[in-house]
Structure 1
Amino acid sequence: MLTDPLFYAVAIPAVILLGMAKGGFAGIGVVAVPLMALAVSPVMAASITLPILLVQDVVSVWAFRKSWDKGLLLLMLPAAAVGVFLGWALAAFVKEAAVELAVGAISVVFALQRLWAERAVSAAEQVAAAPGRAWLGALCGAAAGFTSQIAHAGGPPFQIYVLPRRLPRDAFIGTSAIFFATVNWMKVPAYVALGAFTPKVLATAGVLLPLAIASTWAGVWVVRRVPAEGFYRVIYVLLVLVGGKLVLDGARGLIA
């Protein structure tokens, strides 16, 4: 088990952010691994994070188990499996920084466009739900699996397809929870093959698990008190922030 105080100084807020993300504030968990990487290697940070995510997934799936979109999952999950496999197979040839930069830039443009569209209608009107093309859903599912495997940034591609559909708040969160719970289990074989789950990694993750569970329930509690009509605007703003961070990280990595 890690005993470095610096690690826990960054890991505790990272796990809390992961919990809030799993509780419904989609996207903000992307900062967790970079935070932990201030104290340990990025590979170890990702290896510690994955078992924590698997436990948090149980909490979020249970909390929103009655609200999810079966059609979206049937469309996107098979494609995500292909994306995870491609991410594993191409890891040696694809620069993580380039993936982060591309995903971040697309996410920022998309979220800003959607925020402008919401502002353009009167307060009494609802933004019309986009029907979404099946091929685009499969493409975004594959991109979510790929970027999750390569750069732990699967949220933006998933949101780009799902957000315009204007699902009810709980259905959006539940669908997201089940999607990423499945994708995280898809990633486990690759981590096992790499020998990432060492006794030190698992013991450290175990120490953080109580906080992970508590923070996820806290996220569920908070998100259910956000007015439904303002929920999507909050998620779009978070997507801009997350996308901006990915752009900065990607640009910094490519320059380095």
Structure 2
Amino acid sequence: MLSFAFMAELILNPLQVSWSVWFITLACAFIIGFSKSGLKGIGMVTIPVLAIMYGGMISAGILLPFLVFGDLFAVRFYRKNMSWSHVKRLMPFALAGILLAVLVGKMISDDLFRNLMAILVISCLALIIFFDFSGKKPDFSKSGFLSGFTGLSGGFATMIGNAAGPIFDLYLLSMRLPKNSFIGTGAIFFLTLNIIKVPFHFFIWESITLASLQMNFVMVPAVFFGALAGRKVVSYIPEKGFRIFVIAIIALSSVLLLLR
């Protein structure tokens, strides 16, 4: 007869990883929820952590359902602040980027792409900071080229490694949205993209398995409590402070992409 401890481990730890890895994964789930409903961008730190523990493509499959759960909670919390019109022009380009990534994902090394993406994000971020100090207010959404480039590169990056956060956050940041609108609009956009990505990960790349999904569902409460904590924390941050924080996190995330 199977012992209770063995049965509990089969349920709680279906991937049979060490408990230290399990608890780090749980912490990553909490951080994802915290990021999605509060301090946007901080969830990027989970990408290199999970990649080190599980490997590149597998870690992307483990992370994706956490992102979907986090987006769902964020949409629930900020549904009155969402504006689909701010990002709808990105969607066709983002879908094209996802499909391109699906086609080449198992053949291409994404190291060079990540490095170029990080350099481009840092360059665009430097441009925004420059305009902030100069008093000018560029809006990337008003440029057809920048919108197309953002959507295509972001779609590719989100499929390859769930690493499009800095690109899309930078796009929204350039529009100078209030913090709640920034979070809500990003949430509905990412939720749409992340749900679209799930079948590709499951059926084509096989980076999502029934066992990894079981692990995701076991850790859903951590995402939920992270989302509650993030929503509470962001309510105390003034608009200007929130903008500075997002800029700092985008810069840090880009450096992590270079170092990953």
Contact 1:10–1:39 at 8 Å: present in 2 too? Answer: no
Deviations 1:93-119 (A, max 9, x none): 432111211111112222233234334
* Residue of structure 2 in register with 1:227 after alignment: 238
Aligned equivalent of 1:207: 218
**Residue in 2 that maps onto 1:91:** 105
Partner of residue 179 from structure 1, selected from 167, 173, 189? 189
How much does 1:85 deviate? 0.6
Q: Distance in 1 between matches of 2:208 and 2:258?
A: 29
CA–CA distance in 2 between the matches of 1:119 and 1:103?
24
Q: CA deviation at 1:134?
A: 3.0
Instruction: State the secondary structure of the residue aligned to 2:53.
Output: coil
Q: Choose from 170, 178, 185 the match for 1:160.
A: 170
Q: Which amino acid aligns with 1:44?
A: I
Q: Give the alignment's TM-score, normalised by structure 1.
A: 0.87
Equivalent in the alignment of 1:124: none
Does the Cα contact within 8 Å between 1:87 and 1:150 map onto a contact in 2? yes
Given that 1:84 and 1:148 are in contact with CA atoms closer than 8 Å, whether structure 2 keeps it comes out as yes
1:52–1:39 distance in 2 versus 1, CA, 3 Å: same
Deviation at 1:154, TM superposition (A): 0.9
2:55 aligned with 1:45: no
Aligned residues of 1:51 and 1:202 also touching (Cα < 8 A): yes
Cα distance in 1 for residues equivalent to 2:144 and 2:228: 33
Matched, 1:54 2:63: no
Alpha-carbon RMSD across the aligned residues, in angstroms, is 1.9
1:242 alignment partner in structure 2:
253
Give the C-alpha shift of residue 120 in structure 1.
4.7
Native 8 Å contact 1:99 1:151 kept in 2? no
Preserved contact between residue 48 and residue 205 of structure 1 (Cα < 8 Å) = yes
Equivalent residue number for residue 15 of structure 2: 2
Counterpart amino acid of 1:225?
Y
Counterpart pick for 2:43 among 29, 32, 35: 29
Unaligned runs of 5+ in 2: 1-13
2:15 partner amino acid: L
Per-residue deviation, residues 173-219 of structure 1 (Å, max 9, x unmatched): 11110111011011112112133332321221122111011101211
Name the CA distance, whole Å, in 2 between partners of 1:33 and 1:11: 11
Within the alignment, does 1:76 sit opposite 2:76 as a pair? no
Q: 1:196 to 1:94 in 2, by over 3 A?
A: closer
Give the structure 1 partner of residue 7 of structure 2.
none
Cα distance in structure 1, aligned partners of 2:213 and 2:250: 31
1:64 aligns with 2:41: no
Could you tell me which residue of structure 1 aligns to residue 144 of structure 2? 134
TM-score w.r.t. structure 2 length? Answer: 0.86
Compute the displacement of 1:129 (Å): 5.2
SS in 1 for 2:219: helix
Spell out the pairing of 1:186-201 with structure 2 (5 A cutoff): 186-193=196-203, 194-201=205-212
Give distance in 2, aligned partners of 1:169 and 1:246. 25
CA distance in 2, matches of 1:59, 1:161: 22
Inter-partner Cα distance in structure 2 for 1:14 and 1:129: 34
AA of the residue aligned to 2:89: L
1:34-88 residue CA offsets vs partner (Å, 9 max, x unmatched): 2123332333322222222211111001111111223222211222111111111
Question: Which residue type is aligned with residue 200 of structure 1?
Answer: A
Q: Percent identity?
A: 26
Q: 1:91–1:43: structure 2 CA closer, same or farther, 3 Å change rule?
A: closer
